[in-house]
Each structure stands twice: as C-alpha cells, then as structure tokens.
C-alpha cells in the first residue's frame, strides 16, 4: 500500500511539473504574440531610424492611419503600392515589393551616386555638371539625367543600391530602364543622410527641397509646412496607362520618416497624383 501511495505521489509531482512547464510555454507564446505587427524592422542604417534615441519610442504614422491608407489604396484604380519607414525606424507597407518602372524617381539615386563618386575621387564638382544636377532634380530634366548617367553607369547605381540595402533594384544599360519597389525607395530615402557623402549631404537636401512648384504635388501638399520635405516624383505613360510615383523624406523636430508611393495604370496623370495625395493624407493626418 505504501509503495502504491509513493508511486501515486511521484506521478502527481511529475504531472504538476509538466503542467507548470506547459503554463510557462503558453505564457511566453502570448507575450511574443503581443509584439507581433504587420510592419517589419527597417534595414536602413541605425542613424536614420528616428532622429534621436530620445524620440525612438514615437511611432508615426499610427496603426489606424496605416489601416486608413491601405483601405484607400485598395479602392483606387490601377496598381498601387506604398511603403514607409516610420519615426521609430520600422518599415510598414502595402504591396511594397511589387516592381515598377522607376520613371524619374531614380534621378535621386543618380544624384547621390554621382556626388559620392566625386567625393571618393576627391574631385571638385564641375560647373556644367552642377547645372545638370539642378535641372535633373528641380525640373526633372531627362537630358540632364542622361548626361549624369554617363558618369555613373549601372555600376554606380548598383553600388548605391547595395549601400542603401535595397534588395529589388534593377537597371540595365540606361537610367530609363531602372526598376524599383516602394520598400526599397522608402529605405533609400530614410537612409539618405547615411548613404550620401558627408560633404554633399546639405547639397542633396537643398536640391530635394527646391523642386519647382508645378512638380510639388502629392506628398508635399500634405506634409508642408509641418514637416521639412525632401522629395522627388516621376511619371510616364505605360502599357497599363499612366504611371505616377513620388518618394519623400520628412523631418520635424527630432523625428524623421520616409514615404514611397508608386502607382501604374492610372486613368490619368491627375488621378495618380490624387492617389498619392490621398495616401499621404491618411498616413500623415489623424
């Protein structure tokens, strides 16, 4: 009888221990699930993931703003993708790995790649090339972009893409062949200060904040004057219809974030611009 009682006692202890282990595992799973999110960590350099460690806990846009932007995007005609690196350094997106023709958005990569080459070779910026850079960015001049591409080439663009940790960028034989995703462009603009040569950072910022008024539609219509806005748009006609893109870096006080909105198959250029403005409005305004 005593041996039976001892055996039952040992079994009771073993069962209790097993139940305790199960409870611990279940609790750990619940804790982990509480931290799950539809966003993912950005691969942008750490210094661009929020302007300061003191502001790292701030997350803009909020989850509800992201939900509103996604809902709006689903109701628009054509193909729509967007991505952002929020003020905490996290990448959030909607169809953000769909690859698009870059149009003139790639001109920012041409700008940074060219200036980085000058810095690496300790060469001055020639006056005629500076004129090309200004026209390429401020008025989106295609001939100026072609002239700068001649000094950069596919190799320079790929080197910059690697530095910015872009995973889906492609170009072959000319800047007009470039293909981009919203996720990559959001990462690139979020890390702009990190990937641009230090001696040219202010110059890059100056050009990207002085786009002519006629091309300052979309994101800057919503972000200004609350946010300092550095941006570039692109547009062309494709077999789907009208393609309209815009990418921007936004800064306010100690906070920074980046937004990339890509569209194709728009029934008109103005419709694509309205899609971009509508998404930006829902991401940036409560």
Q: Are residues 16 and 114 in the same domain?
A: no
Residue 17 has pLDDT above 60, yes or no: no
Q: Are residues 78 and 10 in the same domain?
A: no
pTM: 0.82
Residues 20 and 147 in one domain: no
* Distance (Å) of CA 117 to CA 88, 129, 140, 219, 223: 31, 13, 21, 30, 32
What does the pLDDT read at residue 10? 52
- Do 77 and 24 belong to one domain? no
Domain match, 236 and 102 both:
yes
215-247 per-position pLDDT tens digit: 999 999 999 999 999 999 999 999 999 999 999
Q: Which of 53-57, 92-96, 125-129, 193-197 has the lowest mean pLDDT?
A: 53-57
Determine the pLDDT at residue 285: 85
Shared domain for 68 and 145, answered yes or no, is: yes
pLDDT, mean of residues 90-119: 97
Domain identity same for 251 and 163: yes
Question: Do the Cβ atoms of 121 and 163 come closer than 8 Å?
Answer: no
Q: Are residues 96 and 194 in the same domain?
A: yes
Domain count for the chain: 2
Range of lowest pLDDT (15-19, 168-172, 178-182, 208-212): 15-19
CA 12/CA 239 separation, integer angstroms: 72
Instruction: Look at residues 42, 195, 190, 170 and name the one whose alpha carbon lies nearest to residue 112.
Output: 195
CATH value at residue 108:
3.40.710.10
C-alpha distances (whole Å) from 51 to each of 45, 87, 155, 175, 272 are 12, 8, 31, 31, 31
- Do 11 and 53 share a domain, yes or no? no
Q: The domain containing residue 80 runs over which residues?
A: 40-284
- Categorise residue 91: left if φ over 0, alpha if ψ from -120 to 50, beta otherwise: beta
Of 85, 103, 54, 97, whose CA–CA distance to 257 is shortest?
A: 85
Residues in the chain: 286
Are 110 and 194 members of one domain?
yes
183-199 tens-digit pLDDT = 999 999 999 999 999 99
Distances (CA, A) of 211 to 175, 231, 250: 20, 8, 15
Please, are residues 48 and 256 in contact by the beta-carbon 8 Å criterion? yes
Same domain for 153 and 77: yes
Which pair of tokens denotes residue 153?
A: 């080439």
Are 218 and 268 part of one and the same domain?
A: yes
> What is the distance between the alpha carbons of residues 179 and 97, in angstroms, rounded to a whole number?
11
């Amino acid at each position: 009888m005593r041996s039976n009682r001892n055996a039952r006692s040992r079994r009771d202890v073993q069962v209790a221990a097993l139940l305790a282990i199960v409870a611990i595992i279940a609790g750990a799973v619940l804790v982990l699930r509480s931290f799950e999110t539809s966003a993912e960590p950005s691969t942008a350099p750490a210094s661009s993931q929020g302007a300061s460690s003191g502001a790292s806990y701030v997350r803009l846009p909020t989850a509800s703003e992201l939900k509103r932007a996604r809902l709006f995007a689903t109701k628009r005609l054509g193909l729509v993708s967007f991505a952002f690196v929020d003020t905490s350094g996290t990448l959030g997106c909607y169809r953000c790995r769909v690859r698009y023709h870059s149009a003139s958005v790639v001109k920012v990569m041409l700008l940074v790649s060219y200036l980085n080459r000058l810095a690496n070779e300790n060469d001055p910026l020639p006056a005629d090339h500076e004129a090309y850079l200004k026209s390429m960015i401020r008025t989106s001049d295609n001939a100026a972009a072609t002239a700068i591409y001649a000094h950069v080439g596919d190799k320079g663009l790929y080197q910059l893409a690697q530095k910015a940790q872009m995973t889906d960028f492609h170009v072959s034989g000319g800047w007009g062949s470039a293909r981009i995703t919203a996720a990559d462009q959001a990462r690139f603009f979020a890390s702009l200060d990190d990937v641009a040569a230090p001696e040219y950072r202010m110059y890059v910022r100056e050009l990207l904040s002085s786009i002519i008024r006629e091309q300052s539609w979309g994101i800057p219509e919503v972000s200004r004057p609350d946010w300092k806005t550095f941006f570039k748009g692109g547009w062309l006609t494709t077999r789907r219809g009208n393609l309209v893109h815009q990418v921007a870096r936004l800064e306010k006080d100690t906070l920074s974030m980046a937004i990339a909105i890509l569209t194709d198959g728009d029934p008109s250029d103005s419709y694509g611009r309205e899609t971009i403005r509508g998404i930006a409005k829902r991401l940036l305004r409560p």
